[in-house]
Amino acid sequence: MRYLPLTPDDRAAMLAKIGAPNIDALFRDVPKSAVVARSVFDLPDTQGELTVERALSKMAAKSRAAGSLPFFCGAGAYKHHVPSAVDHLIQRSEFLTSYTPYQPEIAQGTLQYLFEFQTQVALLTGMEVANASLYDGSTATAEGVLMAQRITKRPKAILSGGLHPHYAETVETVAGLSGTVTRSPVTPGKAEDIIALIDDQTACVVVQSPDVFGLIRNLKPIADAAHAKGALLIAVVTEIVSLGLIEPPGAQGADIVAAEGQSLGVGLNFGGPYVGLFATREKYLRNMPGRLCGETTDAAGKRGYVLTLSTREQHIRREKATSNICTNSGLCCLAFTIHLSLLGEEGFSRLARANHARASALADRLADVKGVSLVTESFFNEFTLKLSKPAASVVDALAEKGIVAGVPASRLMPHDKEARDLLIVAATETNTDEDCDAFVHALAELL
Amino acid sequence: MTMNNQGRPTSSGSVNENEMPTISGDRGLQHEVSLIFELGRPGMTGVDLPQVQMTDKRLGGLRRKGPVGLPGLSEPEVIRHYVRLSQLNYSIDAGLYPLGSCTMKHNPRLNEKMARLPGFADVHPLAPQQTVQGAFEAVGELMKWLTTLTGMPAVAMSPKAGAHGELCGLLTIRAAIEARGEKRNRILVPSSAHGTNPATAAVAGFVVDEVPATEDGHVDADALEAKLGPDVAAIMLTNPNTCGLFEPRIKEMADAVHKAGAYFYCDGANFNAIAGRVRPGDLGVDAMHINLHKTFSTPHGGGGPGAGPVVLSAALAPFAPLPLLVHDGNEFRMIEHADEATDGAKPFGRMCAFHGQMGMFSRALTYMMSHGADGIRQASEDAVLSANYILASLKDVMSAPFGEGPCMHEALFDDSFLEGTGVTTLDFAKAMIDEGYHPMTMYFPLVVHGAMLIEPTESESKESLDRFIHVLRTMALEAKAGQTARFDGAPRLAPRRRLDETAAARKPILRWKPKELPQAAE
């Protein structure tokens, strides 16, 4: 087996040194009845690269890659162009095959990019501090709710109806154990009156902007109302590129920002791995979940970086930790931070504008199709259409024609009658004029 | 003094080349790297994008008012920055990485290539299901490998790492107990457990009750049985345990747990010792997460991403979280809502958006198909053999608290061999850095004093192990002989000397700030 360097002679010599007659002797504590023969496993034997590559390539070819056809799905995962340099750099051995930087003297590469990543996330979100990532946007949101419950010592989380339903369900899974979770009604294309739900038991209000339908939400009044009642505002961002054009949540009064960073550097990956961004105010620092990288100096006085404030974490605090998280999204942070470094201020702004312009133009054209109306007045690169037919059947019919039209809202909220005819459409810099033409014409033919 | 092949002396004479300052501050291949925010110039970018015209009319009056504050760099500058950063890192590709309980094995590059196939990587999680059948098939194939190797009937694929898998397992157990109309709020956790175990139990709303270890490094099975009662929901047990030992009374403990109406959660972090040889299902396990980034070689990536699928017994399988992947004889289908579930499934909820770490699944599947069942078994045997070889080769000079019997895939030492030398576990570990090695896991598990946990994995040749053993033996002998100079303030030859962690925590600086701006107020 090409990955195993020991030869039969090596193994014999090693057993002799150990003083064991055979390998079985090393497994002597395993109950005999639990040791199984090779033949018990109905699985193949060792295979060479060529064989494995052939089999997996054949399997992968049964999927239609997003880049191979006009593609307009968003709803929490967005197709963007990732510069070639990103994937080359993240595959450097020293990044790819290193562990969590617990030995800082020989992990400054990882630590410095985490410090830069934390800075970038704080700048993007308009917050004071950010951590070194969580798993993804949905789990970051759930961690945010738990953190708000700890800070306020109150049980109740109020979730906006515009919060991605998968995020809401993820929050309910964990925060429902430590408190109560209330969902505000779904109001596609409109801001709900979430302020009326805030009371003196409310730990936090969770509002996504742009929301799951693409609508840009004004967070300031919600932040003010929450603060007046002693509650926190958690702002959720699933499309981080939007912050190149939209006022960041930090400037609108958010106390915690939980975001998905997948749009930069990471790619679609069928849903994971992604990268959870998590930022807050400095005063809440010690209640944060996850790893933090901090600046310090070494014994020779040189600037360096270490993991810090680890007394919040599970390996020190065990059952009293702020979270059970250990492994995070290290390499996805790296991809994110390299992509953002390549873009810089100018590139990031241009990317955001290109996305908005592309989506605006497409929304105008689609809204002119008979049987289609635009539900979201304001949006970034994603909007919702109301169709004259159930959206799921339209998506299936267009997929037959080689166009992936978007995400039917009914896939995310099957019990909401109003959602049946709603189609969530995203357009990014990757969509060409030809893609948009094909979509508009095919939809006009169908409706 | 040595001579090069032209016969000229290669020594620099009286100057100690390690001490001589350089003009640039860089030292040969080792560069000092500025923060990216200290580089670049306004207007520069490493990505050419068109300047698009647009209006504000659809931004709801919320257009960003100021710049983000990002520096502008060209592509070559960005590449140089990250390449230089990478050169400051140790990696498994460059050297033995003996971190106990972390399984730093070789990461095959075929895995990387396969994970990037467009049919796996460039696929949207909410794309119409008929268009993503290839990706579903890969997930289905991985599920088959995982359930077969563990001898368990079902697997939940969405957990994103080991700790997330633990949470998934405990929430499944909670749902199963509630379905029986019972309430149980206590979880038994051995004192040798990974920190994530008690932390997860707390997040899942349970009270943690610690089970002591015996003198010989095992979980105290009698103490465990005495603690069982009608309020115990589960035991969280790592097997092989964190002392590197297989729990010989595991079946007995599993039986007692089941008899008390509780469930057996196994922390699968150490599955690399037994994969292909022992099936956890045969040991009475009800739920176990599998760290794909440990046992199945997906890269650790400087701290993630991982993946933590959870295999489940028949008793727990109906309560597995959404989404559920099913095959209806014709094609794969992802069940995303509880009321669409069939066959009596009662999913407890959702662990995360979408359906798990596909990018890790394709890598792990590639690893499994490459090894085959015979190769996986051989890998486990080699991992155990290598750890025992290290234990046997070092236990006369380093102190092995449980050194009598064989260990599994990791060898545990404590600091009693350093007693009276003035050298600590930390000093010993840091001196390894100067010798070109990443230190072993230190001060864990907590049940022995000054722990040093060495996990060589199956990826090292005998020559590599012998060299490592030689270095550690020499270090141990020197320390005991009072020759402690190399330990004092080590490392000296790394990109940085010891870093001041106390100062970092006392006055945290967690981000770069422009010099001219005042520090942000509370």
CA count, 13 A, side-chain hemisphere, A77: 29
Q: Is residue B81 part of a domain?
A: no
Containing B235, the helix (H) or strand (E) segment is strand B232-238
Minimum-distance CB partner of B461 among A6, A124, A166? A6
- Is residue B421's pLDDT more than 70? yes
Q: Tokens for B212?
A: 């002591």
Asked whether A183 and A194 are in contact (CB, 8 A), the reply is no
User: How close, in Å, is residue B522 to chain A by CA atoms?
Assistant: 6
Closest residue to B371, CB basis, from A46, A116, A178: A46
CATH superfamily of the A68-82+345-446 domain? Aspartate Aminotransferase, domain 1 (3.90.1150.10)
Backbone angles phi, psi at A252, to 5 degrees: -105, 10
pLDDT at residue number B514: 85
- pLDDT of the residue at A178: 86
Measured between beta carbons, the chain B residues lying within 8 angstroms of A18 are: 385, 388-389, 391-392, 406
Q: How far is B237 from chain A (nearest CA, A)?
A: 15
Q: Are residues B331 and B218 in the same domain?
A: yes
Helical axes A165-178 vs A137-152, angle rounded to 10°: 30
Q: Is residue B5 part of a domain?
A: no
Of the partner residues A108, A330, A346, the one whose CB lies closest to the CB of residue B303: A330
Q: Is the pLDDT of residue B457 over 90?
A: yes
Decide if B325 is inside a domain.
yes
pLDDT the model gives residue B522: 39
* Same domain membership, residue B184 and residue B163: yes
Q: Do B276 and B307 sit in the same domain of this protein?
A: yes
Distance from CA of B194 to the nearest CA of A (A): 7
Q: Which fold has domain A84-339?
A: Aspartate Aminotransferase; domain 2 (3.40.640)
The beta-carbon neighbor of A135 closest among B67, B161, B370 is B161
Distance CA(B216)–CA(B403), nearest Å, equals: 9
Which of residues 18 through 57 in chain A touch B, CB cutoff 8 A?
A: 18-20, 23, 25-31, 33-36, 38, 40-47, 49, 52-53, 55-57
Kindly indicate the confidence band of residue B343, based on its pLDDT and cuts at 50, 70 and 90. confident
Cβ contacts of A34 on chain B, cutoff 8 Å = 251, 278-279, 282-283
User: Residue B13: its pLDDT value, please?
Assistant: 46
Say if residue B10's pLDDT is above 50.
no
B490-517 mean pLDDT: 92
Taking the C-alpha atoms of residue B117 and residue B362, their distance in angstroms, rounded to an integer, is 9
> Which residue among A136, A344, A360 places its CB closest to the CB of B160?
A136
pLDDT at B518 over 70: no
Residue in B94, B151, B496 closest to A304 by CB: B496
In a domain, B306, yes or no: yes
Judged by CB atoms closer than 8 Å, whether chains meet at B370 and A52 is answered as yes
Q: Has residue B518 been placed in a domain? A: no
Q: Which of residues 104-143 of A touch B (CB under 8 A)?
A: 104-110, 112-113, 115-116, 118-120, 122-124, 128-130, 132-133, 135-139
Contacts of A343 in chain B (CB under 8 A): 45-47, 70
Domain holding B252, by residue range, is: 110-365
Looking at the structure, tell me whether residues B339 and B393 fall in a common domain.
Answer: no
Segments of chain A scoring below 70 in pLDDT? none
Confidence band for B18, pLDDT divided at 50, 70 and 90: low
pLDDT at B517: 54
* Interface membership of A278 toward B (CB under 8 Å): no
Which chain B residue lies closest to A166 (C-alpha atoms)?
A: B353
Q: Which residue of A has its CA nearest to B137?
A: A59
Closest by Cβ to A60, choosing from B134, B247, B302: B134
In the beta sheet, which residues pair with residue B411? B454
Distances in Å between the Cα of A447 and the Cα atoms of A188, A349, B130 are 21, 36, 22
Percentage of chain B beyond pLDDT 70 is 95
Q: Are residues B381 and B351 in the same domain?
A: no
Going from N- to C-terminal start, the domains of chain A cover 68-82+345-446, 84-339
What pLDDT, in 10s, does the model give residues B156-181?
999 999 999 999 999 999 999 999 99
Q: What is the CATH number of the domain that holds B383?
A: 3.90.1150.10
User: Which two tokens mark A148?
Assistant: 């708000």
- More confident position, B15 or A417: A417
Tokens 């090693």 belong to residue: A14
Q: How many CB pairs under 8 A join A and B?
A: 707
Residues B284 and B384 in one domain: no
Q: In this model, does residue B4 exceed pLDDT 60?
A: no
Tally of CB atoms within 10 A around A415: 9
Residue type (1 letter), B407: C
Tokens 């176990």: give the residue.
B288
* CA nearest to A210 within chain B: B59
Looking at the structure, tell me whether residues B162 and B280 fall in a common domain: yes
Residue A407's pLDDT is 98
The partner residues of B324 in beta bridges, in order of sequence, read B335
In which band, very low, low, confident or very high, does the pLDDT at B12 lie, cut at 50, 70 and 90?
Answer: very low
| Cβ–Cβ gap B464/A5 under 8 Å | yes
Contacting residues for A83 by C-beta, under 8 A, at least 6 apart: A339, A342, B46, B47, B75
The model carries a pTM of: 0.96
pLDDT per position as a tens digit, B257-284? 999 999 999 999 999 999 999 999 999 9
**Residues B454, B481 contacting (CB under 8 angstroms):** no
As a whole number of angstroms, the distance between CA A90 and CA A97 comes to 10
Collect all residues with Cβ–Cβ distance below 8 Å to A169 and sequence separation of at least 6.
Answer: B322, B349, B350
Residue B327 pLDDT exceeds 80: yes
pLDDT at B6 over 70: no
| pLDDT of B214 | 92
Give the model's pLDDT for residue B14: 47
Residues A395 and A375 sit within 8 Å (Cβ to Cβ): no
* Co-location of B378 and B357 in the same domain: no
Kindly determine whether residue A106 and residue B349, on different chains, have CB atoms separated by under 8 Å. Answer: no
pLDDT, position A409:
98
Which of B365, B387, B415 marks a domain boundary? B365
* Helix (H), strand (E), coil (C) string for A260-305: ECCCCCCCCHHHCCCCEEEEECHHHHHHCCCCEEEEEEECCCCEEE
Are the beta carbons of B97 and A107 closer than 8 angstroms?
A: no
Report the distance separating Cα A364 and Cα A131, nearest Å. Answer: 39
Cα–Cα distance, A232 to A222 (Å, whole number): 10
Is B202 found in the same domain as B222?
Answer: yes
- Say if residue B309 is in the same domain as residue B234: yes
Domain membership of residue B52 (yes or no) is no
Angle at B14 between CA B13 and CA B17, to 5 degrees: 80
Of B160, B386, B510, the CB nearest to A139: B160
**ipTM for this model:** 0.98
Helix (H) / strand (E) element for A360: namely helix A330-367
Whether residues B344 and B223 fall in one domain: yes
Q: Which of A71, A84, A87, A97 to probe the B interface (max B CBs under 10 A)? A: A97
Same fold, A68-82+345-446 and A84-339: no
Amino acid at A269: N
B268: tokens are 């699968």
Per the document, the length of chain A is: 447
| Residue B182, in any domain of the structure | yes
Q: Is residue B330 part of a domain?
A: yes
> How close, in Å, is residue A355 to chain B by CA atoms?
9
In chain A, which residues have their Cβ closer than 8 Å to the Cβ of B435? none
Distance from the Cα of A192 to chain B's closest Cα (Å) equals: 15
Q: What is the pLDDT of residue B1?
A: 38
- Find the Cα–Cα–Cα–Cα dihedral A215, A223, A230, A150, rounded to 10°: 60
CATH of the domain at B225: 3.40.640.10
Integer Cα distance of B53 and B298 in angstroms: 44
Cβ(A226)–Cβ(A205) under 8 Å?
A: yes
Q: In this structure, how many other beta carbons lie within 10 angstroms of the beta carbon of residue B309?
A: 30
Q: Is there a single domain that holds both residue B116 and residue B213?
A: yes
pLDDT at B371 over 90: yes
